[in-house]
């Protein structure tokens, strides 16, 4: 069998940490306080009320640590509808910072503001920036489909 074919076949498995097409079983359960912060953000930026909380669920995924199913400090990806490409958020001690991703400038500006207000290790800053870059590429490809 051709080695190039095998590489193409297994390459997605090696890059799974940056994959934004996640199965529902990998979603984490958001604490109510984080859920409310996302709900309020969506209502403010979408310009319409979100359905009552008892009917709402935002599939949310830990991007850098797929095996962590608790809402710990980190960078996450959530989807608010079946047609949504998703949105990034950073959880820092229970405070959620949503990174709007309509344009790269929006996402990077929000991330720069987050860094000004939060002291995190440089290695974590770089990891988050890498995720943001991959996510923006994912959204661009998704938009073109």
Residue 78 near residue 86 (C-beta atoms within 8 A):
yes
Domain boundaries along the sequence of the chain: 24-144
Q: Please, which pLDDT band fits residue 66 given cuts at 50, 70 and 90?
A: confident
Provide mean pLDDT across the span 65-94: 87
pLDDT in tens, 10-56: 444 444 444 555 566 778 888 888 888 888 888 888 777 776 665 56
123: number of Cβ within 10 Å: 8
List the one residue out of 102, 100, 104 whose CA is nearest residue 89: 100
Look at phi and psi of residue 52 and say left if phi exceeds 0, alpha if psi is from -120 to 50, else beta: beta
Which two tokens mark 29? 């359960």
- Confidence at residue 123, expressed as pLDDT on a 0 to 100 scale: 96
Say how far apart CA 131 and CA 72 lie, in whole Å: 17
Say how far apart CA 87 and CA 59 lie, in whole Å: 11
* Whole-prediction pTM: 0.77
């Amino acid at each position: 069998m051709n080695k190039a074919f095998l590489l193409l076949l297994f390459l997605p498995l090696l890059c799974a940490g940056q994959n934004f097409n996640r199965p529902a079983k990998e979603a984490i359960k958001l604490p109510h306080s984080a859920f409310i912060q996302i709900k309020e953000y969506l209502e403010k930026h979408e310009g319409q009320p979100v359905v009552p909380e008892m009917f709402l669920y935002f599939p949310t995924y830990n991007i850098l640590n797929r095996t962590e199913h608790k809402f710990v400090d980190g960078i996450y990806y959530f989807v608010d509808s079946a047609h949504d490409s998703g949105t990034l958020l950073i959880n820092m001690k229970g405070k959620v910072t949503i990174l709007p991703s309509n344009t790269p400038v929006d996402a990077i500006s929000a991330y720069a503001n987050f860094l000004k207000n939060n002291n995190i290790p440089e290695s974590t800053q770089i990891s988050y920036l890498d995720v943001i870059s991959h996510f923006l590429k994912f959204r661009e490809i998704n938009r073109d489909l």
